[in-house]
Amino acid sequence: MADLKTKDRMKIKRTEMPLRDPEVRKHDFDEVPVGFTMEEAVLEASRCIDCGKPHCVEGCPVNINIPGFLKALEKGDMQSSINILMNTNQLPSICGRVCPQDQQCELVCIVGKKNKPVSIGNLERFVADYAMEHNLIPDFTPTEAMEVDQKIAIAGSGPAGLTVAAELRKLGYKVKIFEALHKPGGVLFYGIPRFRLPAQVIDNEINNLKKMGVEVELNALIGRTYTVDALFEEGYDAVMIGTGAGLPKMLGLPGENLKGVFAANEFLTRVNLMRADKFPEYITPVIVGKDVVIIGAGNTAMDAARTAMRFEPNSVTIVYRRSRDEAPARTEELLHAEQEGVKFLFLNNPVELIGDEEYNLKEMKVIKMELGEPDEGGRRRPIAIKGSEYNIKCDMMVSALGFGVNPLITSTTKGIDVNSWGAIVVDENGMTTKEGVFAAGDIITGGSTVIMAMGQAKTAAKGIDRYLKAKREVK
């Protein structure tokens, strides 16, 4: 393969990820993509033409050396491949599965100009899974000589908290993550369903960090169990806030207090974290209706719809006020939802929820929409078509409209400024307006993506290192 000419590489067809049969998979929570074989992975990696200016690297928020890990894979040098990958990304099995590659690295892949882009995400997943299975994960534990006598407390164990922990532990700092829930991983665990991201994959990557010496304390709510100031008093030299944006947003519709109305976070947490799908074996129940309607068309909406589908209702419908082209979900998630039988009512918007005499939701009034001029975000603005309202059957509604940030830490700590909608304000080093307190991830941006949270976490880790080095020099 190594001798292949560029023109021949360009002709190789993209290997598509094999998927489980939709009719089978929609009844269980097992992972949907099957994964590449070694032969498929090597063939797909050989499509990379190792172009002089790899835009894919710039397209990746953590700047993975993509051609580097692909070329090592093509040669069958799996150790080099995983070393290159993990040099910049500590969570490759996770990112390979959930990153929006179609909007990032693969979008700018030069092969994609004439052919389909190289399947970078699926290859990242392949290399990372292979390395895990064959014990090839590089050891980033700092040597004794590198150990630094300064410690950092991290609030939240989502991708932001995990990345800051990994980056700082590599440099020899003592790092402890405080997580409010009884499982680490943040949205990776409680939001993204197991058929997209198996629990074992998350556990494996978190265990790699623990092996480096990252400590994790569960059931510890910063702002209640310990305040930020108490952490400093306990001897921490810096605090990093990576508590995400988990506050549900509702629509404010008439009828929203009816039985059968959920926020996506609650529904997904019940199933993913509390295993309500296995009730009564697990103690948390969930009641899924017969005609389920999900509002929104992002990843959260697809996850809620596909999760509901696994409880075997009569119908699951996504209602979205724009068209398919504007849907923010990963292309793959939309496709998988369609394959599993989720219906889509694009260009429709809910206006009212209608209940029966016992306050159970039974119908939703929707209105048809059309698209007008683009708004400030560049997406065409949806406009309601007067008089086009009609009712659809609906005994369960799940609102998947994004999330707000939880004010617990900022309301219990003086001096951390927030913006107009409550997100923590940071400078170019990731430091908040309170000295020694840093923040990264959804808590500074609102709901975003795993890899964006990781990119900001790297900035914060560099900022913390600089800050603590300066403190050491003063001593």
Residues that bind ligand FAD (CB under 6 A): 98-100, 155-161, 178-181, 186-187, 191-192, 221-223, 242-244, 246, 268, 299-300, 303, 330, 406, 408-409, 441-443, 447-451, 453
Query: 67 vs 185, which CB is nearer to ligand FAD?
Result: 185
The CB-of-184 to ligand FAD minimum distance in angstroms stands at 7
Query: 85 vs 206, which CB is nearer to ligand FAD?
Result: 206
Contact (CB, 8 A) for 422 and 263: no
Query: 338 vs 389, which CB is nearer to ligand FAD?
Result: 338
State both tokens at 191.
């939001």
The CB-of-407 to ligand FAD minimum distance in angstroms stands at 10
Contact (CB, 8 A) for 106 and 120: yes
Query: 392 vs 408, which CB is nearer to ligand FAD?
Result: 408
The CB-of-220 to ligand FAD minimum distance in angstroms stands at 6
Query: 33 vs 255, which CB is nearer to ligand FAD?
Result: 33
Give the Cα separation of 358 and 437 in Å (integer): 50
Query: 186 vs 255, which CB is nearer to ligand FAD?
Result: 186
Query: 142 vs 422, which CB is nearer to ligand FAD?
Result: 422
The CB-of-85 to ligand FAD minimum distance in angstroms stands at 17
Query: 159 vs 430, which CB is nearer to ligand FAD?
Result: 159
Query: 221 vs 354, which CB is nearer to ligand FAD?
Result: 221
